[in-house]
Amino acid sequence: MPINNNYIADVIQEYGDMLDLDGANPFKIRAYRQAARRIRSITRELAEMVEEGENLQQFSGIGEGIAEKIVEIVQKGKFHQLEEIKNKIPSGLLEVMSLEGLGPERVKKLYKELDIENIDDLERAINKGKIRELEGFGKKTEENIKKSIKQKEQQGNRLFYNRAEEYTQPLLEYMRKLESTNRLAVAGSYRRKKETVGDIDILATGKDSEVIMDHFVAYEDVEDIISKGDTKSSVHLRGGLQVDLRVVAEESYGAALNYFTGSQDHNIQTRHIAREKGLKLNEYGVFRESNQKSIAGETEDEVYQALGLPYIVPELRENRGEIEAARNNNLPQLIERKDLKGDLQMHSQYSDGGATIEEMAQAAQELGHEYIGITDHSQRVTIANGLDADELAKEIDEIDRINEKFDDFRIFKSVEVDILEDGSLDLPNSILKRLDLRVCCIHYKFNLPREKQMLRILRAMDNPYFNIFGHPTAREINKRPPIDVDMGKIMDAALDKGVYLELNSSPKRLDLNDIHCKMAKERGLKIVISTDAHNPSQLPNLRYGINQARRGWLESEDVLNTRSADKLLEMIKR
DNA sequence: GCCGTTTTCGGCCCGACTGTTTTCAGTCG
């Protein structure tokens, strides 16, 4: 594991969780967890900053103590306080604490009274009926813990955004059928368009909350009901996805939507602002601290206005500078789907696509595209029927023929050419130069150590026919970690050489991620948003890329394929 | 442990639901 920001955040977070089990000061625990979250959103590599002796305390949430620990993590991969606490408390307890319904107090009790150190121990104790005998526990709690274990085994990872959509849309339709519901919206990370979704938060207003709740838990896909009250109910759907429904009064709708959309970090900041202004912000509205009088709540606009801020779109609500930007009236005008004029990565039957070039072109035209790039695989990717130079030459000729039929649409002759281990490209320049543009990607040797991986990529970028670095970290969400690279250096090199980076819109890749997009924007490096579609039905996936781009603060200006075909070719020329 | 247009000390977001209890602790988001 490379010592990147995510690793550092993991270690800091683990320490916070261990402190929780140790019964430490809750605010200290929170400080570590907040620091971990903060670290994940920093767009520079902390390891590098440490090596260069830079001050880490410039980041809010990182003070003297945690800065010292980060230095130790960078140097040794761990820090001594964490090792000490691990000697005292079995780290298997963290896994137990991650179960739904089990927090630090109960886990501690299980450890002290029943010697439970991990989930296996816990399961054995449940089977012996030991849990129900503990003071403060009971039969029902024992059953719930049993369910939680099963739940964790089943669900495992967070859902891809597009899969979450498949669960959410029918449920919304079902809820709309009920006459008692008035307003209905999805909040949470789903509304913020995160690449994966842990659970679904639905917000409703309506005449009779009891009727709405009854209707909700009666949904045919509900597997079990976790809780049910007047204002909040939670269920598991078949397949394990948790859905929470909240019913609020009309006058609180905006405040509730804002509150339940989060993120938590964003909410903490907005509440701070409220307090500064002598106001109180909660899910019911904005209130004057002096007389508890409500001054806003029905719409989100109103809530932000009461805080003296312009409206902030959900995708930006991650406490990554949006509050400051809002205060300075400097929020980005985020890119929208309609800004994109074309799609620069897709496959045809020449390699592993399911449709002909003409079929892809036609479908793209119907979506309003002005151009596409056909990027079939190169020879190295044998499993995808990658093309050699002769086969690619044939494809080039065919695209020329097809292009003659169009007046106001253009197919770029392109390729998804592999970056080989030594940094050479998988096809000779003699054929690459016949193309309009080239997307260069890594499909093998993901595990090279950072130095070698960097050398490979930077060397490849030296080739004048390297235009776009496709799915740059090669990660697959929930499956394969990103390759170990210094993204800042890659971006600097890309700027220097006139290379662009791709945001791959496949819901399983979404590569670059949001933080990398913001990094690119801060450097002035433009991004290409492509689908990597393998058949026409995947062409609308562009919207997932747009979601990610918006989370990464990108504006139309920051994205290459918002340009016309001619302008694009001009810009891509090295 | 972090932070500061009241502060270097004394705060730190806050309300709902469940289960096991007879008034509340624990957990969650």
Query: Which pLDDT tens digit goes with each residue over A189-212?
Result: 999 999 999 899 999 999 889 999
Return the closest nucleotide (C1') to the Cα of A280: B13
Q: What is the pLDDT of residue A155?
A: 65
| A52 shares a domain with A14 | yes
Maximum CA extent, chain A: 80
**Sign of the C-alpha dihedral computed for residues A65, A70, A76 and A79 taken in this order:** positive
Return the CATH number at A102.
1.10.150.20
Angstrom distance (rounded) from CA A510 to CA A394: 31
∠ CA A225-A226-A228, rounded to 5°: 75
Average pLDDT, chain A: 92
| A500 shares a domain with A385 | yes
**b or e along A40-69 (b: 16 or more beta carbons within 10 Å of the residue's beta carbon)?**
bbbbebbbebbeeeeebeebebbeeebbeb
Q: How far is the CA of A108 from the C1' of B22 (A)?
A: 25
What mean pLDDT is predicted for residues A44-58?
A: 90
Residue ending a domain, choose from A156, A178, A200: A156
Q: What is the pLDDT of residue A45?
A: 87
Q: How far is the CA of A46 from the C1' of B12 (A)?
A: 26
Angstrom distance (rounded) from CA A35 to CA A15: 11
Angstrom distance (rounded) from CA A75 to CA A50: 9
Return the closest nucleotide (C1') to the Cα of A68: B1
Angstrom distance (rounded) from CA A503 to CA A544: 10
Return the CATH number at A504.
3.20.20.140
Which residue type does A51 have? E
In A445-541, where does DSSP find H-type helix? 450-462, 487-497, 514-523
Q: Is the pLDDT of residue A565 over 60?
A: yes
Q: What is the pLDDT of residue A24?
A: 87
Question: Which of A159-163, A410-414, A433-437, A513-517 is predicted with the least confidence, judged by mean pLDDT?
Answer: A159-163
Structural domain total, chain A = 5
Strand B positions closer than 7 A to protein CB: 1-4, 6, 11-21, 25-29
Candidates A331, A404, A310, A423; CA nearest to A361 is A404
The set of residues, in sequence order, having a beta carbon less than 8 Å from that of A65 and lying 6+ positions away, is none
Return the CATH number at A238.
3.30.460.10
- The helix (run of H) or strand (run of E) holding residue A205 is strand A199-206
Return the closest nucleotide (C1') to the Cα of A148: B27
Q: What is the pLDDT of residue A411?
A: 98
Q: CA A377 → CA A338, A344, A424, A528, distances in Å?
A: 28, 14, 15, 18
| A202 shares a domain with A164 | yes
Closest CA-bearing residue to C1' of B21:
A136
The range of the structural domain enclosing residue A43 comes to 1-89
| A177 shares a domain with A144 | no
Q: Is the pLDDT of residue A323 over 60?
A: yes
Closest CA-bearing residue to C1' of B16:
A232
Q: How far is the CA of A79 from the C1' of B13 (A)?
A: 30
What mean pLDDT is predicted for residues A458-466?
A: 97
DSSP-derived pairing of the beta strands A285-288 and A279-282: antiparallel
Q: What is the dihedral of CA A212, A216, A220, A223, to 10 degrees?
A: -150
Q: What is the pLDDT of residue A426?
A: 95
| A398 shares a domain with A525 | yes
**Sign of the C-alpha dihedral computed for residues A423, A429, A432 and A436 taken in this order:** positive
Q: Is A401 part of a structural domain of the chain?
A: yes
Angstrom distance (rounded) from CA A5 to CA A23: 27
Return the closest nucleotide (C1') to the Cα of A60: B2
Q: CA A535 → CA A349, A391, A398, A401, A512, distances in Å?
A: 9, 20, 18, 21, 22
Q: Is A397 part of a structural domain of the chain?
A: yes
Residue A482 is given by DSSP the state P
Please tell me the pTM assigned to this model: 0.87
What mean pLDDT is predicted for residues A150-178?
A: 87
What phi and psi values does residue A440 have, to the nearest 5 degrees?
A: -110, 135
Going along A297-435, which residue ranges are E strands? 342-343, 371-374, 410-413, 416-418
| A490 shares a domain with A370 | yes
Q: Is the pLDDT of residue A488 over 60?
A: yes
Q: Is the pLDDT of residue A158 over 90?
A: no
Q: How far is the CA of A538 from the C1' of B8 (A)?
A: 58
Angstrom distance (rounded) from CA A66 to CA A115: 32
Residue A425 is given by DSSP the state B
Residue ending a domain, choose from A114, A137, A156: A156
| A279 shares a domain with A291 | yes
Q: What is the pLDDT of residue A277?
A: 86
Residue pair A403/A418 in contact (Cβ under 8 Å)? The answer is no
| A504 shares a domain with A466 | yes
What is the spatial order of strands in the sheet that A294-296 belongs to?
A279-282, A285-288, A294-296
Closest CA-bearing residue to C1' of B5:
A276
Q: How far is the CA of A527 from the C1' of B26 (A)?
A: 47
What mean pLDDT is predicted for residues A222-245?
A: 90
Q: How far is the CA of A64 from the C1' of B8 (A)?
A: 14
Q: How far is the CA of A186 from the C1' of B18 (A)?
A: 25
- Local confidence band at A518 (pLDDT 50, 70, 90 cut-offs): very high
Residue ending a domain, choose from A304, A327, A350: A327
Look up tokens 């494809």; give the residue. Answer: A395
pLDDT in tens, A348-381: 999 999 899 999 999 999 999 999 999 999 999 9
Return the closest nucleotide (C1') to the Cα of A262: B29
Q: Is the pLDDT of residue A225 over 60?
A: yes
| A457 shares a domain with A401 | yes
Question: Which of A56-65, A285-294, A355-364, A518-527 is predicted with the least confidence, judged by mean pLDDT?
Answer: A285-294
Candidates A385, A395, A414; CA nearest to A572 is A414
Candidates A468, A495, A496; CA nearest to A569 is A468
- Cβ–Cβ contacts within 10 Å for residue A120, how many? 13
Q: What is the pLDDT of residue A156?
A: 65
Candidates A41, A1, A38, A36; CA nearest to A19 is A36
Q: Is the pLDDT of residue A239 over 80?
A: no
Q: How far is the CA of A23 from the C1' of B19 (A)?
A: 23
Q: Is the pLDDT of residue A53 over 70?
A: yes
